Chain A
Amino acid sequence: MPIKTVKEAINDALVQSFENDKNVILMGEDIAGGKGREQYQGTQDAWGGPFGVTQGLFTKFGGERVRDTTIAEAGFFGAAVGAAMTGLRPIVELMYVDFAGVCFDQMMNQAAKVRYMFGGKQKVPMVVRTVVGAGFRAGSEHSQTLYSLYTHIPGLKVVAPYDAYDAKGLLLSSIQDDDPVIFMEHKRLYMTSCEVPDDLKPIPLGKGKIRKNGSDVTIIAIQRMNLFAEEAAKELENNNISCEIIDPRSYSPLDEDLIYTSVKKTGRVIIVDESNPKCSLASEISSLISENCFSDLKSGVIKITAPHTPVPFSPPMEDFYIPSSKKIGDAAKELLNA
């Protein structure tokens, strides 16, 4: 079976979607790149986006469907809403999720609400692909995750894949979905790889995944935090602690049943979220567990998150900011008095 990086898997899903549906278009800043200097660069797409994820699409599908935009997110996000309403399936790239602030109105007030507030006749089948995550020494304005910002809004769906397999399967689904989907790609995961079948079917949104079966403690890990959860779980085997790792993959909708089933089995929960703690996915999932599994809990839910600060730049500070496998391991040991 072919081994693919997350980046390749996403590119594959885009190519496949473009081939299968002529209504799929892509808009974003430098998603091709080098506009106006084509004669010098020896290729028609100099960048393929800042991470090279969309490399080759312009050459394959042309400028009508792969549209480099101006640095005008409100403009092309709003255009995606209108294009989606009238029959296209636009994918727009928000270069970093940190730029959400300049085009949040188009998602929060238009994409999310037109169907509802205009009587249910519209649908907005658009996808926002965006890059999230700390660990790139990229500073406070290029490192956030902001999962809960979009998850909070009724009308939007939010997906955050961990590995290449899920990235491809979930992106295929997101593009086929009739609602607006925020598809979050973690910059530190782009070069990680796993087996991805060429004929992978779309993975339904709202279905979580048990990444590891276990019996003592449930670790609910959000996107890149699955990496640390797996490291911690391996380490904890030495202490005879058996961890079950749940990757919800999709945050709106959220696979609550999968979470509750695991919590009822283990009675102990650690939630690991790279975001800031207040009103986060971690706090939301914690509250849902309290409401739905209170009598099954042997101990209070533990949240391991970033601190309530912006993402710092300097490596020691940024490393401190990001949750770690050690923190997860320590928490598990404390839970089990090991």
Chain B
Amino acid sequence: MLDKDKLDWIYNKLFTIRFFEERIKKIAKEKSVPGYLHTCIGSEAICVGVMAALNKDDWISSTYRNHGHAIAKDCNLNQITSEIYGRSTGICKGRGGSMHISDFDRGMLGSFGIVAAGPPVVLGAALQEKINNGSKNSVSFFGDGAIHNGAFHEAAGLAKLWNIPMLFVCENNGYAEATATDWHLNTKELSDISKAYDMVAYRGNGNDVFEVFNLTNKALEESRNKQTPIFLEFKNYRFSGQYEGDTQLYQPQEEIENAKKNDPIKLAIDNAKNHNLTKDDIETYKKNALDAVNSAFDFADTQPWPKGEDALQEVYVNYPKEVN
């Protein structure tokens, strides 16, 4: 049985991510938000379940669909929002934007806009841990679209060859951009791809935060004990489009309605009684999450823009100043 603190954390994060994404979608539609937005409605259980199994300073990589990972990695919600708004107090000082929300101090190596950029980078962090006898876990998040990219395969091959403990976490959300996963897969199951590397793989229901949590714990332990990478596939559904503004004409209404039956937030609420949580508890989680989201957006609204010339900062650690 999970302790109450852990349950509080899990439910708070689930609701925070959902409310945050609903809010930013609304703002993008009604007003505008600079740049591209990729929201993660439907991925909450994967973000929260995996992160619940990790320590605060464990290494992860994320993607352009990163809001949920960043929130679940305990990045500051005000700073996340400010970054999406392009303000100087943003988590990346306004130099990243929605696609690159990342905080190195929270173990985030990066949120990469290039599909499959993350796995090799996480391999490197895990290699460093191995060489230095470190204790941090290393986890790379990527989508089903990434499994066709060479960078994923090259990282998988090296991780297995070098006996590097790390997790390859694939969020199989049914779509690679506007292409259906059942069309692009060459194998029966996505995780069959790991057989090419003789890599252990587990598949789980990505809508069930507790299943994600338990499977991740199991994989982390096995990965450490056997000094081996492990592939985790979590199936879920991408309710959001590829990006905000996507007409989603390719996602049939019937499919969306079916997926709603397994909505990760709904499942978590249904599951609450198994964890001795009451309706009041759920209402409290919701209220706290909504308050946090509201205050984050209120905060971001008041934040100053960076100055244009702030663009010149921190390209290098050291570089002759005349160049900038």
Interface residues of A (CB under 8 A from B): 25, 64-65, 67, 69-70, 72-88, 90, 102, 105-106, 109-110, 114-123, 154-155, 157, 177-179, 206, 253, 256
For B112, the chain A residues whose CB sits under 8 A away are: 109-110
Q: Are B120 and A88 in contact (CB under 8 A)?
A: no
Residues in A with CB closer than 8 Å to B145 are none
Query: Closest CB-CB distance, B296 to chain A, in whole Å?
Result: 17
Contacting pair B100 A70 (CB below 8 A): no
A72–B314 touching, CB < 8 Å: no
Q: 9 tightest CB-CB pairs across the interface, nearest first?
A: A78-B120, A82-B124, A75-B154, A79-B124, A72-B154, A120-B314, A83-B124, A178-B317, A119-B92
What residues of B have a CB within 8 angstroms of the CB of A80 in the complex? 124
Alpha-carbon distance between A87 and B316 when the two chains are bound, in angstroms: 17
Q: Does A109 lie within 8 Å of B123, measured CB to CB?
A: no
Other-chain residue from A70, A84, A90, A105 in contact with B161 (beta carbon distance below 8 A): A70
B153: chain A residues within 8 A (beta carbon): 72, 75
Contact yes or no, B158 A82, CB < 8 A: no
Residue in chain A with minimal CB distance to B110: A114
Interface-facing stretch out of B31-39, B127-135, B203-211, B281-289 = B127-135
- Mask, B108-120, CB within 8 Å of A = 1, is 1111111001011
Say whether B105 contacts A79, CB under 8 Å. Answer: no
A64-B131, A74-B154, A122-B104 given as contacts; is B120 within 8 A of A79 (CB)? Answer: yes
The 29 sampled A-B contact pairs (Cβ below 8 Å) are: A67-B162, A72-B154, A74-B120, A76-B120, A78-B154, A78-B155, A79-B121, A79-B127, A80-B124, A82-B109, A82-B128, A85-B104, A85-B109, A86-B109, A86-B128, A88-B128, A88-B131, A110-B112, A115-B315, A117-B95, A119-B91, A119-B102, A119-B103, A119-B104, A120-B314, A121-B105, A122-B104, A253-B320, A256-B322
Residue B183 CB within 8 A of the other chain: no
Shortest Cβ distance from A320 into chain B, in angstroms? 36
- Which residues from B are CB-within-8-Å of A88? 124, 127-128, 131-132
Among A79, A109, A117, A206, the residue within 8 A (CB) of B158 is: A79
Is B119's CB under 8 angstroms from A72's CB? no
User: Contact at B91–A87, with CB atoms within 8 Å?
Assistant: no
Cβ-defined contact, B121 with A110, below 8 A: yes
CB pair B313–A82 under 8 Å, yes or no, is: no
Assess whether B154 is in contact with A70, with CB atoms less than 8 Å apart: yes
**A86 lies within 8 A of B322 (CB):** no
Using a Cβ–Cβ cut-off of 8 Å, how many residues does chain B contribute to the interface with A? 53
Neighbouring A residues of B92 by C-beta, 8 Å: 117-119
Distance (whole angstroms) from the CB of A72 to the closest CB of chain B: 4
CA–CA, A109 and B124, complex, Å: 16
Q: How far is the CA of A121 from the CA of B104 in the complex (A)?
A: 6
B127 near A83: Cβ-Cβ < 8 Å = yes
What is the CB-to-nearest-CB distance from A168 to chain B, in angstroms, rounded to a whole number?
21
CB distance from B94 to the nearest CB of A (A): 9
Q: A75-B120, A75-B123, A82-B123 are in contact. Are A115 and B158 (CB under 8 A)?
A: no
Shortest Cβ gap from B314 to chain A (Å): 4
Chain B residues with CB under 8 A of A115: 314-317
Determine the chain A residues whose CB is within 8 A of the CB of B90 once the complex forms.
119
Does B54 sit within 8 A of A, measured CB to CB? no
For the complex with contacts A72-B153, A110-B112, 6 further pairs of A-B residues with Cβ separation under 8 Å are A74-B120, A78-B120, A84-B124, A105-B117, A118-B92, A118-B100
Q: Are A74 and B131 in contact (CB under 8 A)?
A: no
Query: Could you tell me if B121 and A78 are in contact, using CB atoms closer than 8 angstroms?
Result: yes
Q: Contacts of A73 on B, CB cut-off 8 Å?
A: 154
The answer to whether B158 and A70 have CB atoms under 8 Å apart is yes
